[in-house]
Amino acid sequence: MSSALEQPAYATSLALVRAAQERVAPFIHRTPVLTSATLDRLSGRSLFFKCEIFQRTGSFKFRGATNAVRMLDDATAARGVVTHSSGNHAQALALAASMRGIAAHVVMPSNSAEIKKAAVRGYGARIIECVPTLEAREATAARVLEETGGSMIPPYNHANVIAGQGTIALELLEQCADLDAIIVPLGGGGLISGITIAAKGINPKIRIIGAEPALAGDAALSKKSGSIQPPMEPVTIADGLRAALGPLTFPIVRDLVDEIALVSEDEIRAHMRLVWERMKITIEPSAAVGVAVACGCGAAALPQRVGVILCGGNVDMQTVLS
């Protein structure tokens, strides 16, 4: 394994990801890898789609949430867990907590989609609404933490969450051992950080390519500038990728992710529709960003055998099709 991966600056390691895989295995789905002759032809290479759309709660987030919840000791877990999220992490933490028999308190913006609120409640969590600003979310979460004594489990900037997401790479490289590259949707960086550490720990030569909406391209700017850049205005359709990098995810993206490709909104919509129509599976816009890099804007520079992470399939049809 590359000596760079041993640096203590990184939030996780291959050994910790392997431990997470053993810890979460009884609770998560081992998701399939699908292929498509049509998308192979369009891209000019062999693509292998890791389908986290079939993970519990409909996204990869359940892996990290489960690892974080299962690592709490019994006394700490009994006080419950807290987060602020309007999307997939809220659902994932709610279910992970329910499966351990502990309380989950989820701060959600008041303008969150009703379908998402219903899903979080359905998994047994208590929702605390706040005005739709980051400052309000953080302040409300801090108040709930003080009231409950619970443990904060953020969506991505958490070592145990990052390790849990890295289990995707372990599965994918067991299923497709000779990949040249992996394309990973990139928002706050928890997913790509875990995958990068695990994949490069197994094969230091594998390329990791971040896929980011151009309208939320702060990770690309952060990597180029060498410092974390603030999130852009939250207008991209790929709502799961609107977050900025955190202090735990940024060093991994800065040092170990090989490149970040930016994708337009038109490309996101076109490739989401392409997967729906040709592969007959439902992916969310955030997952389509990676497909767009594989088949569109970044295809010419890619190697021959490429894994593509389909990170989630939770779609607000009213928003997407309007």
CA-based torsion, 64, 65, 69, 70: positive or negative: negative
Amino acid letter, residue 202? I
- Ramachandran category for residue 128: left, alpha or beta (phi over 0 → left; psi -120 to 50 → alpha): beta
164 burial level (CB within 10 Å; 0-12, 13-18, 19+): buried
Q: Six-digit token pair at 103? A: 């309380």
Provide the angle, in degrees to the nearest 10, between the axes of the packed helices 14-24 and 159-175.
Answer: 80
CA distance 186 to 145: 28
* Catalytically annotated residues: 61, 86
Look at residues 165, 163, 298 and name the one whose alpha carbon lies nearest to residue 220: 298
